[in-house]
């Protein structure tokens, strides 16, 4: 059987592609418009792992999907029926419960670009991911009574696919985070043995396969935050950050448990990549410590109004984390969370661990950005906060192979 091939649309920093790589898929190319996110994907999956069989007609650089649809339509049409899968999910800010949920957010239109891409290439199967808000109706739109997920399901059905979509909590699949997302699978109706039941069976197979998959890696479904990052404490020691000499990075502590062992495979040296600590002022450190002390019995929840008032905190979200539980869904804003035992925000590497990126996966670009640049730049925290956890996409990749 020839290698199973896929195209990753809205690829981000490569969380989905990494999982598909680890489950034996062959990437053709990835479309991602952010320079920063593409740099991370390129560094790890193209330069290090040689994962993509990139076509000569498409420059290996960041691309916007509509530009590719317009400029390379004839080349895409030549791929018709020759690609096993189209994977990925359009940006979700317009649907996100963490944001303002704007029905008229222009990024919502990218779903139609996704569907047009599918219609041109006609892959055998589709794997689509989006935020759980994607399944909910917008308040302004109640008279229509249709969530975007239903519209996409109908359009893909009309395009010739058996489709099934449902909400999945990645925390049930060994990821140390409660992260519920909308997952949709489609199978081309003209394929031999294709059926609606087969599309629906994907989710049952995913569920029943997870225990064996995790057991083989020495993992389980109960991995919590402490299991994930307790070897990355600041108190383990500090060294100068290689690319940012004015900052300090953390050295590895003793490996504790199999999750850390799996995450640290393939790394050398004692300094963890992207484990640069923020420069908090003494006032902030003191405030964080007091919040940690005041919330010992109430972790993983937003701080109370009384604590907000006491410390004059205007931020909408400040969540002291619980070591012995999975984290809430991490966002692209690191200052939404306080480390469970140290008065600080999480590092980029701790973010990556929570999303199940292995430590050899090196993130590129700025650590953070602010102001007007937030619209243009996708720094490391944002790349990770937007990603699909590779541990989940690897499991999905194995089940998707069975659909063919």
CB atoms within 10 A of CB 264: 17
Active site residue 92: yes
Is there a contact between 396 and 206 (Cβ–Cβ < 8 Å)?
yes
176: which 2 tokens?
A: 């140390």
C-alpha distances in angstroms, 393 versus 105, 266, 291, 293, 396?
Answer: 27, 20, 36, 37, 5
Neighbouring-strand partners of residue 185: 127, 164
Neighbouring-strand partners of residue 186: 126, 163
Q: What is the DSSP annotation of 87-139?
A: EE----TTT-TTTT--TT-GGGGHHHHHHHHHHHH--SEEEEEEEGGGGS--G
CA dist., res. 347 & res. 50, Å (int)? 28
The strand pair at 244-251 and 238-241 is best described as: antiparallel
CB atoms within 10 A of CB 31: 21
Q: How many CA atoms lie within 13 A of 372 on its CB side?
A: 0
CA dist., res. 86 & res. 79, Å (int)? 12
Q: Which of 41, 65, 92, 111 is catalytic?
A: 92
Residues designated catalytic: 92
């Amino acid at each position: 059987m020839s290698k199973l091939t896929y195209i990753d649309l809205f690829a981000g920093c490569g969380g989905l592609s990494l999982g598909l790589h680890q489950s034996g898929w062959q990437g053709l190319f990835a479309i991602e418009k952010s320079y920063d996110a593409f740099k991370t994907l390129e560094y790890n999956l193209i330069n290090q792992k040689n994962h993509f069989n990139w076509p000569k007609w498409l420059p290996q650089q960041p691309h916007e999907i509509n530009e590719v649809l317009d400029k390379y339509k004839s080349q895409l049409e030549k791929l018709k029926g020759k690609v096993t899968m189209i994977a990925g999910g359009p940006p979700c800010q317009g649907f996100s419960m963490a944001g303002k949920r704007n029905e008229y957010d222009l990024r919502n239109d990218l779903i139609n670009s996704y569907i047009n891409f599918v219609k041109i290439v006609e892959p055998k199967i589709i794997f689509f991911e989006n935020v759980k808000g994607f399944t909910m109706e917008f308040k302004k739109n109640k008279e229509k009574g249709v969530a975007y997920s239903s519209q996409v399901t109908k359009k893909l059905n009309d395009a010739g696919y058996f489709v099934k979509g449902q909400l999945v909590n990645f925390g049930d699949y060994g990821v140390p985070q409660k992260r519920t997302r909308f997952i949709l699978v489609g199978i081309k109706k003209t394929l031999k043995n294709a059926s609606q039941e087969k599309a629906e069976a994907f989710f049952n197979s995913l569920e029943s396969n997870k225990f064996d998959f995790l057991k083989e890696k020495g993992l389980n479904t109960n991995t919590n935050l402490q299991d994930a990052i307790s070897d990355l404490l600041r108190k383990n020691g500090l060294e100068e950050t290689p690319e940012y000499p004015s900052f300090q990075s953390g050295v590895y502590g003793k490996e504790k448990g199999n999750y850390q062992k799996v995450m640290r495979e393939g790394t050398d040296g004692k300094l963890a990549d992207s484990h640069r600590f923020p420069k908090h002022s003494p006032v902030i450190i003191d405030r964080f410590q007091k919040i940690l002390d005041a919330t010992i019995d109430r972790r993983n929840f937003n701080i109370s109004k009384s604590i907000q008032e006491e410390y004059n905190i205007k931020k909408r979200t400040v969540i002291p984390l619980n070591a012995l539980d999975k984290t809430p869904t991490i966002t692209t804003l690191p200052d939404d969370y306080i480390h469970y035992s140290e008065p600080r925000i999480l590092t980029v590497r701790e973010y990556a661990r929570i999303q199940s990126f292995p430590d050899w996966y090196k993130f590129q670009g700025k650590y953070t950005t602010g102001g007007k640049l937030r619209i243009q730049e996708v720094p490391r925290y944002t790349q990770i906060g937007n990603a699909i956890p590779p541990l989940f996409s690897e499991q999905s990749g194995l089940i998707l192979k069975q659909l063919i």
